[in-house]
Amino acid sequence: KINIFWFRRDLRLEDNTGLQHALNSGLKVIPLFILDTDILDKLEDDYDRRVDYIHQALQDIHMELRSFRTGIHIHHGRPLEVFKKLVQDLEIDTVFCNRDYEPGAIRRDQEIHDFLQCHHIKFQQYKDQVIFEKSDIVKSDFSPYTVFTPYSKKWKEKLIKTEFKTVDLTHFAEFHGSSEIISLEEIGFKKTDMQFKKPKLNKALIESYHLYRDFPAMNCTTHLGIALRFGTLSVRACVDYALKHNETWLNELIWREFFMQILYHFPKVVTGCFKEKYENIVWRNNEKEFRVWCSGNTGYPIVDAGMRELNETGFMHNRVRMITASFLTKHLLIDWRWGEAYFASKLLDYDLAANNGNWQWAAGCGCDAAPYFRIFNPYEQAKKFDKESEYIRKWLPEDEQKLPIVEHREARERALKTYKEALA
């Protein structure tokens, strides 16, 4: 008999909870990754840096495993079909993996669980991508928190210590295949300019995070979003570091878990407003204006610079994400779901819980969102956070600065009226 460890959004060998349990199980372990066609087929483009990132991270794991005379088994297809085949070929005792809290992933795991159960194979899942999951942090009446501050207070109170798990890599099954994993081309994708580097925690950057994080030109945030998204870095390592070096950065990691538990408890947010009354907003949804926003041509330099940064690099600074999202939903009165989908298609660090939570926050319809009448003034934001226009100049050539698509004051009044009518 043999066990399987199924890698998903935990692409690392160190401090990997499910992997450790698998390797301690007493049976040899086959490391498995599934290039899931249910996900890949939905991507619009065959040039996707995130797919390349995953591919490079897998190659990296594979090379590490080769020194233990083993290697990762990569399959391309629908998970259920892959498991149907594995069950035919192998005598599996248990499939181990780490838990995923997105509604689609929960449905997929249930399907796999049910299938394996029919074959008398165990399916064991562990908490790994968060410190606190599901209902670990709830109010005294056991209901979930929907406001960040009390949630983060309880989160900090409950945190005793972060425990690292050293994984003994000697219990893998032998592997006689090639040292190269399946190529990107074989799965219908192109090589991009993505360069996978093992993520590292930068002490100087994190120590001064609270001072500079709001100034996009300084680019002083960690850029670890993608590593946390795909688990190439352990969240326990991050939290341990944050506890030692910077409480503001710790709060950002708690925001991440806050939105994850919101998505877990309120999966309706995937398609609907957290605050239902906001469904009454009559969005203008002008398609031409949406395209102008996407391409960074609104005539608001800070907005356009942000969208161009996103389009070129797959990253956008948090302050500018807030400004561009507010502009789309308030100034242009375009449904937050359109903006959310556009960010999802572009962001390297795209994460359903964080993206959805933050978009709903910007539109005012999310949990713990700012009141709708607080509308960002893009000029004031630029003055405050990009005083010398350094960020703007970096991403937006001066000769490409346009006339504003809407006049700020008029757009503001229109947004206030529309929101007020919807919430009356």
318 in active site:
yes
Nearer Cβ to ligand FAD, position 94 or 251? 251
Burial of 162 (0-12, 13-18, 19+ CB in 10 A): middle
Q: Is 207 annotated as a binding residue?
A: no
CB of 368: closest distance to ligand FAD in angstroms? 11
Binding mask 370-409 for ligand FAD (x = CB under 6 A): ----------------------------------------
In the block, tokens 């309880």 appear at 154
Number of residues that bind ligand FAD (CB under 6 A): 26
Cβ atoms of 333 and 242 closer than 8 Å: no
Q: Which two tokens stand for residue 37?
A: 């066609």
Which position among 18, 71, 216, 225 is part of the footprint of ligand FAD (CB under 6 A)? 225
Which position among 35, 253, 375, 396 is part of the footprint of ligand FAD (CB under 6 A)? 253
Q: Is 278 annotated as a binding residue?
A: no
255 in active site:
yes
Cα–Cα distances (Å) from 4 to 64, 168, 348, 372, in that order, read 18, 16, 29, 49
Burial of 202 (0-12, 13-18, 19+ CB in 10 A): middle
Cβ atoms of 280 and 423 closer than 8 Å: yes
E strand or H helix at 141, and its extent? none
Binding mask 304-343 for ligand FAD (x = CB under 6 A): --------------x--xx--x-----------------x
**Is 35 in a helix, a strand, or coil?**
strand
297 in active site:
no
Binding mask 343-372 for ligand FAD (x = CB under 6 A): x---x-xxx--xx--xx--x----------
E strand or H helix at 74, and its extent? strand 73-77
CB of 323: closest distance to ligand FAD in angstroms? 9
Cβ atoms of 257 and 132 closer than 8 Å: yes
Which position among 48, 100, 109, 252 is part of the footprint of ligand FAD (CB under 6 A)? 252
Nearest one of 390, 414, 394, 422 to 289, comparing CA atoms = 414
Q: Which two tokens stand for residue 256?
A: 């991440």
Q: Name the catalytic one among 3, 102, 252, 355.
A: 252
Q: Is 258 annotated as a binding residue?
A: yes
Q: What percentage of the chain's residues is helix, strand, coil (to nearest 5)? A: 50, 10, 40
CB of 353: closest distance to ligand FAD in angstroms? 7
Burial of 26 (0-12, 13-18, 19+ CB in 10 A): exposed
Strands 29-36 and 73-77, sheet pairing: parallel
Choose the binding region for ligand FAD from 7-15, 25-33, 194-202, 224-232 (rule: CB under 6 A). 224-232
163 in active site:
no
Q: Is 263 in the site for ligand FAD (CB under 6 A)?
A: no
Residues with catalytic function:
252, 255, 283, 318, 336, 359
Per the annotation, binding residues for FAD are 209, 249, 252-259, 349-351
Binding site for ligand FAD (CB under 6 A): 213, 221-225, 228, 252-253, 255-256, 259, 318, 321-322, 325, 343, 347, 349-351, 354-355, 358-359, 362
